[in-house]
Each structure stands twice: as C-alpha cells, then as structure tokens.
Amino acid sequence: MKQEIKRGWGKYILFVFVLVVAYHSFTLCKVEGKSMQPTLYEEDYVFVNKAAVHFSNLEHGEIVSIKEEDESKYYVKRVIGLPGDVINITNGSVYVNDKKQEEPYTNKDLFNNTQVFYNFQKTKIPPNKLFVMGDNRELSRDSRNGLGYIEEDNIIGKVEFVYYPFSKMKIIE
C-alpha cells in the first residue's frame, strides 16, 4: 500500500515538474497586424520557444517574439542584425556587414519604392541590441521607424511554428 502511495506521489511530482518546465520554456502568441506577411498573417497563433534564447544564440533571419520595455505590447519580428553588425538599406535592399541579404520571405510585390523608410543609413548595432524588421516592410513598425534597437533581454523567444488556424499549420524556418 505504501509503495502505491509513493508511486502516486512520484507521478504527481513529475507531472508538476513537467508543467513548471513547460511554463517557463514555451508560450503561445497571437500575431497582430500585417507586418509579418507573407510569412505570418494577422490572427495566426504561434508557438514560441522561450528556452531557445537562453540556450542558443540568435541568428540572422530568425523570427522572434518581443516585449516592449513596459511589457504593454508584444511584437513578432525577424532578426536582421545582431550586436556589432553594420546595417544599411539602399533602394529596399538590406545589407548586413556590407553583404546584400537574400530575403525570399519578403513579398517584393508589396513594395512600391515610395516608402519613407525604404532607405536606411549605415549604422552599427550597439552591444546587447538587435535590429528587427517585419517581412511586410511597408506596413511594419520595427527598428527603422519606431521600435529602435531591441534589447536582447526583451526577446521572449523564437517563433517555432504556426499552430492555428489548423489549415495554416507549419514549421517556421
């Protein structure tokens, strides 16, 4: 009888432990706005891996969930520049450390070359900061035009996949 009770408590403790780890490692997020189209759409629900930012380094091109300093608003954006990188945008082409970036995830048809932020002067990203942009460059509030550099500590996690709507389920690469 005591063995069964111990086994029952062991399962309960393991279950609680798994819940605590999952709570601190993952979160779910709703995409608001059109700034990440065509990769992510408004009302998409995404799975965010919070543990990934603690156990690995962010890389160019990854999609992340970001909280504002006062935690009043959250964003989903793509990492364009890392600390120490030099960013330049000329005629809509993004350059990181003087290398033109291939950006197949942007919808070039959305751009009409009249956007005020279509060019961005060369700038070096400070330590512990990131430069982020939405994939829909004309409709995105990002590091170019309002968000500024993002503190690495304000990154919630990496967006791993879309889980809803079910018809749009996909892994984010």
Query: What is the span of the domain harbouring residue 89?
Result: 28-171
pLDDT in tens, 144-167: 988 899 999 999 999 999 999 999
Catalytic-residue membership of 35: yes
With a CB cutoff of 8 Å and minimum separation 6, the contacts of 132 are: 64, 66, 75, 77, 78, 79, 80, 142, 143, 147, 150
Residue 20 lies in a domain: no
Residue 12 lies in a domain: no
Mean pLDDT of the chain: 85
pLDDT in tens, 16-34: 666 666 666 778 889 999 9
CATH number at residue 75: 2.10.109.10
Q: Active site residue: 6, 11, 30, 35, which one? A: 35
Q: Count the domains in the chain.
A: 1
Please report, as a single letter, which amino acid is at residue 97: N
Q: The pTM is what?
A: 0.83
Residue 4 lies in a domain: no
pLDDT value, residue 79: 97
Q: Active site residue: 77, 129, 140, 158, which one? A: 77
Residue 102 lies in a domain: yes
Tell me the mean pLDDT in the region 93-116: 76
Catalytic-residue membership of 168: no
